Amino acid sequence: MAPIINGRVLFNAMPEGFPEPGKATTYDVSQTIDLGADSCSSIDPYMRNHMKPASPMGGYILPFVLGELLSGHGVSMVICLEHEKVKVGEHLYGLLTHKHYMLKQDLKQLHILENPSNLPWSTFLGVLGMAGQTAYFGWREYSHAKKNEVIYVTTGAVSVGLVIQLAKINGLKVIASAGSEEKLGFMKEIGAEVVFNYKTTKVSNILVKEGPIDLFWDNVGGGAFEAAIEAASLNCHFIECSKISGYNGETQAQPKNLYLIKEKSISISGFVITQLLEKYKEEFYRILYPLVASGQIKHREAIYEGLEQVSDAILGVQKGTNKGKATVCVADA
């Protein structure tokens, strides 16, 4: 194989608000490499968190290094590696950098994917990737859900699609919100009883009518958080996922009723999926892969072709304009 351009995506500047393509992140073609294969990179809301200075208290989110590679969850095919644990042609899942080819010695943090039904590899970055794991692990560890309870789920992204479907499997009544009619349609399709557009409908009006709620799956915070506290039943559980509406410095409603957490005996769980990985990983693939392969669990993807699209995909995720889980796929022509 002749040397080919090894396209990469670099972190170029700390964004003030939304991460502007070409400014916050740039696509770089200055390097070449000799190998070839297919790969997929997951584009996730949390990436915005790596585009700001580290917290003065230490913090667990390390900023991307300016001028260096972006990183995130990805799937890469093994092409020419001598390693006792993997074979050429196998696909590995884990935290990877955004470049076409990588030379890796240490495979400890990478997971060899099994794919007997030949699902697209992007699936392993969506409903079967970190997004799905967030929903599945959080559900299993923190939901304590009982049949006929009422859950309110914010945003219609893939992770949430799975939360709705897990809630329906467990016999809950589902109230779900999103920001586009197209997402509301998907949420109806996967079983949500009550769907509404948070841009045109006041959350608290819906929850007063359809609640009280026993479980709150929170992807946005702000006004929805306040409305959920107001509509919470005694011993309500809140599961805190990525709070995309606060990432880009947008004005966000700050809850004025936190004192009700005590009054209503509300429990709130934030979680980092890496801490739950060992506990649920095997179960996750064993239970979910066949449900996804058979179509019983539905999901939607927004596939971008080529690393040149990473910056646009990041912005789409932050603005919520994608119609499914955003993934950037690359394959040799």
Considering the complex, what minimum distance in angstroms separates the CB of residue 223 from a second copy?
12
Pick from 108, 147, 199, 262 the residue near a second copy by CB under 8 A. Answer: 262
Count of residues interacting with a second copy (CB under 8 A): 45
Residue 95 is a binding residue for a second copy (CB under 8 A): no
Considering the complex, what minimum distance in angstroms separates the CB of residue 324 from a second copy?
22
Residue 208 is a binding residue for a second copy (CB under 8 A): yes
Kindly indicate which of the ranges 48-56, 71-79, 284-292, 312-320 contains the residues binding a second copy, using the contact rule CB under 8 A. Answer: 48-56
- Residue for token pair 């919470």: 232
Residue 86 is a binding residue for a second copy (CB under 8 A): no
Considering the complex, what minimum distance in angstroms separates the CB of residue 239 from a second copy?
9
Say if CB 117 and CB 142 are below 8 A apart: no
Kindly indicate which of the ranges 23-31, 53-61, 104-112, 167-175 contains the residues binding a second copy, using the contact rule CB under 8 A. Answer: 53-61
Say if CB 270 and CB 240 are below 8 A apart: yes
Pick from 31, 55, 117, 148 the residue near a second copy by CB under 8 A. Answer: 55
Q: Which is nearer to a second copy, 56 or 295 (CB)?
A: 56
Considering the complex, what minimum distance in angstroms separates the CB of residue 136 from a second copy?
16
Residue 175 is a binding residue for a second copy (CB under 8 A): no
Q: Which is nearer to a second copy, 110 or 150 (CB)?
A: 150
| Subset of residues 57 to 76 that bind a second copy, contact rule: CB under 8 A | 57-61
Pick from 117, 235, 296, 321 the residue near a second copy by CB under 8 A. Answer: 235
Q: How many CB atoms lie within 10 A of CB 99?
A: 22
Considering the complex, what minimum distance in angstroms separates the CB of residue 249 from a second copy?
11
Q: Which of 48, 60, 37 is nearest to 14 (CA)?
A: 48
Residue 243 is a binding residue for a second copy (CB under 8 A): yes
Residue 240 is a binding residue for a second copy (CB under 8 A): yes
Residue 3 makes CB contacts below 8 A (sequence gap 6+) with: 32, 33, 34
Considering the complex, what minimum distance in angstroms separates the CB of residue 107 from a second copy?
26
Residue 221 is a binding residue for a second copy (CB under 8 A): yes
Residue 205 is a binding residue for a second copy (CB under 8 A): no
Q: How far is CA 322 from CA 64, 98, 318, 329, in A?
A: 24, 20, 9, 15
User: For binding to a second copy (CB under 8 A), which residues are involved?
Assistant: 49, 55-61, 207-208, 211-212, 221, 225, 230-231, 234-235, 238, 240-243, 246-247, 252, 254-256, 258-272, 275
